[in-house]
A and B are shown apart, each in its own frame.
Chain A
Amino acid sequence: MGHEILIVAEHLRGQLRELSYTLAAAARAAARPDEDRTTAALLGHGVEGLANELDVDQLLYVEHPALEEFTSDAYSRVLAGLIEERRPRAVLFGDTTIGADVAGGLSMRLGLPLVSSCLSLRQAEGQIHFVSKVYAGKILAEGELPAPTALVAMIPGGYRPEQGRRTNPPALERVTPPALEGLRVRLKGYAEPEAGDVDISREAILVSVGRGIQRQENIELAQELAEALGGTVSGSRPVVDQGWLPSTRLVGKSGKTVKPKLYLALGISGAPEHAEGMSESELIIAVNTDPSAPIFGVARYGAQLDVLDLLPVLSEKVREAKAA
């Protein structure tokens, strides 16, 4: 008898997250054609049609008011029951600010192994092989998913979302949730993003800075280049955490996903959390002193330089070129 590959669909504020399609594509890659089936679990309230374009064989819809938005406690209870009952060969979560909040706890609760930061899955001779990014993307790790059931947390980049999309809806099965009372985690409400700042996901040119910018005063050097180019300054996590740029300028996992015409990655190492927010940019140019920085695996052009040396020279040259 065939196995089931189960994916946990992610949605936020009424929108299915694009990563859900990536998960569907990964599930197909892990399944033996004509033998295994792929299934998606959609937990929600009044969102039955949300996953109709997911390329899976079956959709399990779990409806409950407490599931309207993601909370770790409610999701864990529902998913623990589903996994125990169905015993899928693999359960795919997003390695996201949603999926990663529950995958590890379920692994411990159910005694099932977990593979995180997984880029791709491949089935061969009855085994499912994984490739994961570790050490901030500097190393890839490969292995086999332990049987009979393994949990996997997937990062984007291994599949295009279109690969997990189709037009005819999957077969629907409604699943009754367990009692969801006495929940210990409650969503109070979303904060509206700070208004007034630019929306970096709409900018054509981004001059993006990371740890290599070294000091707050040096942000100005990036600002000068951005002005010369007619672009905007964005940044990676450490720069925002230091308070050198507002959180509206954050690119990556819990920031914005950007696809500008030009993305200049200056002093950014390119950890998976950052890469997932910018790897679809039309042209990526990376400058970093570390030749093994993973950003050079994402960029089209690279230079091994200190950004502080390059910035003033490049700004000057751009200004001259524009003036001429």
Chain B
Amino acid sequence: MKIVVPLKLVPDLVEELEIAASGAELDTSFSRLLLNEFDEHALEQALLLKERSGAEVTALTAGIEGADEVLYNAAAKGADRLVKLSLDFPKSTNSHAMARLYGTAIRDLGPDLVLVGVQAHDSLDGPIGPMLAEVLGMPYVGYVAGLRLGDGCCVAKKEYPGGVTAEVELDLPAVLGIQAAEQPPRYVAISRVRLAMKEASLEQQVAPEPNPGGAAAVCRMYKPETGQRASMIEGDEGTVAGKLLEIFREQGLL
């Protein structure tokens, strides 16, 4: 069983986001990038499958700043192979472009299963998973929160609206969009990441020029007028608690 997990770095939303001077994109020059949280779940699910039934897990990512750290972190957690796509990625590298790039690289790895985070918060042109499946000619099911392997197939626990879940069977090879791994993503000590940096080898692949076709151009980006709708209660926890109590009373909630 060969499992490939494509990993993506996204801007850290804990930091203040700034719009670039063009007014149509984010100014990412100062923002910190970190691994997409759903990709972290995809990697965890792959590692759980490996532990349960044996598998070779390959972590793959685009060679932007922070990529090595993400790959060595995956190795420290238990990934067997690390693949980095090298290219000077232009800003226009969207989900469509990434799906095509990952698709070419993943096809050569001959996976039985591709696990990818079900979404990323910076993908205006949609999540990578379904596009990647199309490039690879594989079936796709997203919003998966649990997985077991069968003979030539896998059974995914798929989430539907309203808290409904179902078991969905897919022929292998397949691409699954992971919403949540069966367990929270494991923590790995920094010492083990350092060890992985010494011991694991990074396979570098030169990627072709990305083709971003399939997205709409953005003419304006702006922050929603937050705070305008919520009336903010100022003060420390004592003051705020007092005000909230008044509101509860007014609303007849006490």
Contacts and interface: CB of A to CB of B under 8 A. Distances in A.
B131 A146 contact: no
B93 to A, nearest CB: 15
B195 interface: no
B62 interface: no
Nearest to A255: B163
Contacts of B217: 143-144, 146
B213 interface: yes
Interface in B162-176: 162-171, 174
A145 B174 CA distance: 31
Interface in B202-238: 213-234, 236-238
Interface in A90-107: 96-98, 100-105, 107
A98 B161 contact: yes
B124 A73 contact: no
B248 A250 contact: no
A134 B143 contact: no
Contacts of B157: 191
Interface stretch (B64-72, B73-81, B239-247): B239-247
A105 B223 contact: no
Given A116-B125, A139-B222, A254-B179, A290 B14 contact: yes
Contacts of A309: 236-237
Interface stretch (A1-9, A21-29, A294-302): A294-302
Contacts, number: 296
Main secondary structure of the interface of A (DSSP, over half): mixed
A193 B99 CA distance: 35
A112 B166 CA distance: 30
- Contact residues on A (Cβ < 8 Å of other chain), bracket: 35 or more
Interface in A284-324: 285-287, 290-294, 296-305, 309-310, 313-314, 317-318, 321-322
Interface in A180-197: 184-191, 193
Nearest to B181: A241
A242 to B, nearest CB: 5
Given A115-B125, A191-B157, A186 B241 contact: no
Contacts of B168: 71, 185-188
A296 B224 CA distance: 10
Given A135-B11, A290-B14, A140 B139 contact: no
B161 A96 contact: yes
A259 B247 CA distance: 18
B167 A321 contact: no
B101 interface: no
A130 B134 CA distance: 26
A294 B139 CA distance: 35
B141 interface: yes
B116 to A, nearest CB: 11
Interface in A204-224: 205
A317 B226 contact: no
Contacts of A302: 227, 230-233
Contact of B163 (A17, A135, A143, A247): A247
A137 interface: yes
B214 A101 contact: no
Given A97-B143, A101-B177, A130-B216, 11 more contacts: A69-B166, A97-B158, A104-B129, A105-B130, A140-B222, A144-B216, A188-B167, A191-B166, A254-B143, A256-B163, A299-B230
29 contacts: A10-B161, A12-B164, A72-B141, A101-B143, A107-B126, A108-B214, A111-B214, A115-B124, A117-B124, A135-B122, A139-B17, A139-B19, A139-B221, A139-B223, A140-B223, A142-B222, A144-B216, A185-B140, A186-B170, A190-B160, A190-B165, A253-B161, A254-B159, A256-B163, A285-B247, A292-B223, A300-B231, A317-B245, A318-B245
